[in-house]
Structure 1
Amino acid sequence: MTRPPDTESASDKLDPAVLRVAGVVVLGAIMSILDVTVVNVALRTFQIEFHTTPAIAAWTMTGYTLALATVIPVTGWAADRFGTKRLYMLAMAFFVFGSVLCSTAWNIESLIAFRVIQGLGGGMLMPLGMTILTHAAGPQRIGRVMAIMGVPMLLGPIGGPILGGWLIESFSWHWIFLINVPIGAIALVLAFIVLPKDKPEPSESFDVVGMLLASPGLALFLFGVSSIPGEGTVMAAKVLIPAILGVVLMAAFVVHALRIEHPLIDVHLFRNSALRYAVLTMVLFAAAFFGAQLLLQLYLQQVRGESTLHSGLLNAAQGLGAMITMPIAGRLVDKIGPGKIVLTGVTVIAIGLSTFTRIGSDTSFLLIEGSLFVMGLGMGATMMPTMTAAIQTLSHAQVARGSTLMNIVNQTGFSIGAAAISVVLTNFLTHEGAGGSPTGGPPANVPPQVLEQIRESAATAFAHTYVVSFVLVLLTLIPAFFLPRSTPKAPADGETAAAVVA
């Protein structure tokens, strides 16, 4: 088999050309991911500004998520059809345009509509970025480029609350959207200059039936799951009806996709055993880790009374830990494969997370910071090496579809984890007599002794909920055990991934 030209000169270090491409791609991905957590900080502000309820304000988040779910399945085909550079610039322009519209919103309904427009562009940025970087670096350096793509995933949950809190407190809510304009303009110019020119190639016909099944199916399923925290139960009609419809549509898509050669989402990739186990690992990891992230912010604000800005700063220790291990893990994955790295990372996360299963209302911040740092060390050796395990054995032609598939998996795992953790926390808060809302906080104007008792009860509910995240992390070890323990050889475009892995 002939090796791709770019792997002949592959060295232990990423060359300047790849690093320039990485800088452009990461800039766009950071904007997209930061926007999710930044807006989460502003939900209370939207309620006050637009005189609306928490449930309606939350649609500024839900609408964006559903737009992501609608457009991500189409990304793989569109990248093959129009070229990654053109599509990336179009997605960036759409995202910036949506940001400008959001800043002009005059009521909550217009803001929700503009957030959907913004999400249609933002949804393509991450999978396109992964595809562009993988093509630029070649199969022998995928671990290192995936480590670079981990930067926006790392900065989003950590930097979002800090940036959002500062912009709202210092300026106004409009600036959480307007800040995307100058950054997006710079990213567009750099993308035009730096990204390699697209090479037009004959493309597969568009899977119209697949789009009509997969995009609404995924959106309906995520809408149902996202409605669980607000309804408080999975048995509510608002949860069950869209979720079941979504599952039916996605099941119909799988049947359809297995019968045609070029489906919208390439389910034939699941013949690749490495990708199968990477998908299972990613779903469990995303549900566990991002569910724990949600718990931390709620605990710091509700139980400890920290501001949004301060709680975001406290989370920085986790980012520091991940920054240390992520580049090391990227290099090791390229040399020894992802299996041992991911197992180590998940184990380290479990060690750090175990502290929170015993958390109280007066737990030392030093202990919390130390545990977050340990979790960050594990996270840096888990998330992107798992992505690498999925992409590493794909041919050049399969990368766009594989990146799309892994981003769908990541988004689904995140949504399921956030919804499940919110419901579990609500039930524990009710059981402990600390109120049923995970975001409501303790009631105002109560005696200090009663307030302290409420906070202690709430802390107990958080500790019990952390046990659920801890168990999910342990379950992640099962599929992670089957990830490749050596660096696989990427197939040529004429081969199937399964032929290489089997």
Structure 2
Amino acid sequence: MSVSPGIDRTTLRTTVAVLVGGIAVILDSTIVSVALHQLAQDLDVGVSTIQWVSTAYLLALGVVMPTVGWLQSRLGAKRLWLAALTVFLLGSVLCSFAWNADSLIAFRVVQGVGGGAMLPLMTTIVMQAAGGHNLGKLMSVVALPTAIGPILGPVIGGLILGVGDWRWLFWVNVPLCVAGILLAWRLIPADEPGRRVRLDIVGLLLLSPALVGLLFGLSNVAREGGFGHPDVLLPLVGGALLLTAFVLWALRRGGEALVDLAVLRSRPTWSATALLFLTGASLYGAMLLLPLYWQQVRGTDALGAGLLLIPQGVGSLVSRVVAARLLDKVSPRTVAVAGFALVGVATVPFALAGADTPIWLLLAALLVRGLGMGMVVIPLMAVAFVGLERPEVPHASILTRIAQQVGGSVGVALLAVILATAATSKGSITSAFDIAFWCATGFTALAVLLAFALPSRVGLDASAGGGTPATGAPPGPAADATEVGKRASIAS
């Protein structure tokens, strides 16, 4: 294995070990999302039931993510990672043996518990191992699962459903998880728990239900009645009230809070977190629209839609290297603004497209859109941790992951309602998609403006995680949009 210039071997080995296990979580969401229709048929249940295969997983993530900082302070990063990856592996195996929809939903919760701990912890481990050095290069590697997931997930899911049983969708995770456990055991430096922090029970009782309420309400937006439906309005209002109460509680409690909001006093951290929220809304919202466009307007099947999205993933992969190199020469603000601008410009052709638009033109637009996506994520994830001390890194990791998760749910929900409403009012599915893609472009335009709040000049080798890289010093204390889109487009 060749070592990337500037990244020490121990940090690189730690990063590789984390990514092998982490990619299983990213792939799982995209693989399962294309299988919900088949699962409903095989398990003989309706859409309203089978959607809980996705919703239950999402809610489990929301419950567990806020506790990761406290768990790390008790177990240490390496032990927690191994435990979370083992739980995710167990959940995957159990899902493959599910005998009905209820058992599958329950086992998806087990998966969500493991995945909810892994998503923020993945960034924390890499950041603390790096000790604040070479953040741009490291983020280009950490972003790899996000780039590969949209490419391989739908294709793998479609191929499995085409030649085999749906249970193999979950067996795909097993070799990745086993390899991830072995690599983590060998390559991640041993660490001891940090300062033992008492569990903020009040904060937990406020924040976890708040996230569950928000995510559950947003997942139901595609139902008839939209935001006015009781299953949407009541959870959203309740979640917003609980979130407000948590913010007030956390500000009073300071560093003893479940999630220390003091990290948001750093301009790089708060601006990057806000942009990651908009990134989730823009990127995940569009990922709802794109496969549906290929299927409903251009007449492809699920596998064909997945294959047609490959250029976007390729662009994202290529731009990882470009963005990392640009960060060495220009400011993160410049890279992020350029990335969001590319995403917005490349979405416009879909807003103008019809049933006869040349496919080569749209594939070229997807390639450019992918380039922009990679350019956006890398500087934001790097900037979010600049200037933070080692004990603050877990809290920043949790906040950025929550921002992405909730932002993605908001984008999916809004565009699902817009698509369904436009299809009803316009009477044309093509016109409905045009309107929805213009709205997605609007999200991106807003992100371009907010990107100017990023610091103009930030040294990405500044302190971010503190300590000496990869010494093992004690540390301190995130899809399934496809089925929502299908239900949203029933009106067409």
Letter in 2 for 1:114: F
Question: What are the ranges of 5 or more consecutive residues in structure 2 without an aligned counterpart?
Answer: 468-492
Distance, in Å, in 1 between the alignment partners of 2:354 and 2:158 is 26
Question: What do the CA deviations read for 1:161-198 (whole angstroms, capped 9, x no partner)?
Answer: 11111111111100011121222111111110010101
Q: Are the counterparts in 2 of residues 290 and 418 from structure 1 also a CA contact under 8 Å?
A: yes
Question: What do the CA deviations read for 1:292-348 (whole angstroms, capped 9, x no partner)?
Answer: 111000011112121211211111111111112112212433554411110111111
Which of 186, 189, 207 is the matching residue for 1:196?
Answer: 189
Q: Are the counterparts in 2 of residues 335 and 487 from structure 1 also a CA contact under 8 Å?
A: no
Q: Give 1:460 shift.
A: 1.7
Which of 430, 433, 437 is the matching residue for 1:459?
Answer: 430
Distance, in Å, in 1 between the alignment partners of 2:358 and 2:309 is 14
Distance, in Å, in 2 between the alignment partners of 1:491 and 1:191 is 23
Q: Give 1:487 shift.
A: 2.3
1:125–1:269 CA distance, 2 compared to 1 (3 A): same
Q: Are the counterparts in 1 of residues 132 and 465 from structure 2 also a CA contact under 8 Å?
A: no
Query: Which residue of the partner structure matches residue 475 of structure 2?
Result: none
Which of 294, 304, 309 is the matching residue for 2:288?
Answer: 294
Larger radius of gyration: 1
Higher RCO, 1 or 2 (CA under 8 Å, sep at least 6)? 2
Query: Which residue of the partner structure matches residue 471 of structure 1?
Result: 442
Aligned pairs for 1:136-147 (under 5 A) are: 136-147=129-140
1:230–1:171 CA distance, 2 compared to 1 (3 A): same
SS in structure 2 at match of 1:75: helix
1:203–1:215 CA distance, 2 compared to 1 (3 A): same
Query: Which residue of the partner structure matches residue 206 of structure 1?
Result: 199
Q: Are the counterparts in 1 of residues 75 and 192 from structure 2 also a CA contact under 8 Å?
A: no
Aligned pairs for 1:215-364 (under 5 A) are: 215-261=208-254, 262-333=256-327, 336-364=330-358
Q: Give 1:124 shift.
A: 1.5
Give the superposed CA RMSD: 1.7
Letter in 2 for 1:254: V
Range with bigger deviation, 160-169 or 329-338: 329-338
TM-score (structure 1 length as normaliser): 0.89
Distance, in Å, in 1 between the alignment partners of 2:129 and 2:465 is 16
Q: Are the counterparts in 2 of residues 303 and 459 from structure 1 also a CA contact under 8 Å?
A: yes
Distance, in Å, in 2 between the alignment partners of 1:201 and 1:82 is 8
1:491–1:326 CA distance, 2 compared to 1 (3 A): closer
SS in structure 2 at match of 1:348: helix
Q: Give 1:404 shift.
A: 1.0
Q: Are the counterparts in 2 of residues 336 and 487 from structure 1 also a CA contact under 8 Å?
A: no
Q: Give 1:413 shift.
A: 0.4
Percent sequence identity is: 38
SS in structure 2 at match of 1:139: coil
Aligned pairs for 1:148-227 (under 5 A) are: 148-227=141-220
Query: Which residue of the partner structure matches residue 58 of structure 1?
Result: 51
Q: Give 1:275 shift.
A: 1.3
SS in structure 2 at match of 1:381: helix
Query: Which residue of the partner structure matches residue 430 of structure 1?
Result: 424
Query: Which residue of the partner structure matches residue 481 of structure 1?
Result: 452
Query: Which residue of the partner structure matches residue 118 of structure 2?
Result: 125
Q: Are the counterparts in 2 of residues 278 and 479 from structure 1 also a CA contact under 8 Å?
A: no
Q: Are the counterparts in 2 of residues 257 and 265 from structure 1 also a CA contact under 8 Å?
A: yes
TM-score (structure 2 length as normaliser): 0.91
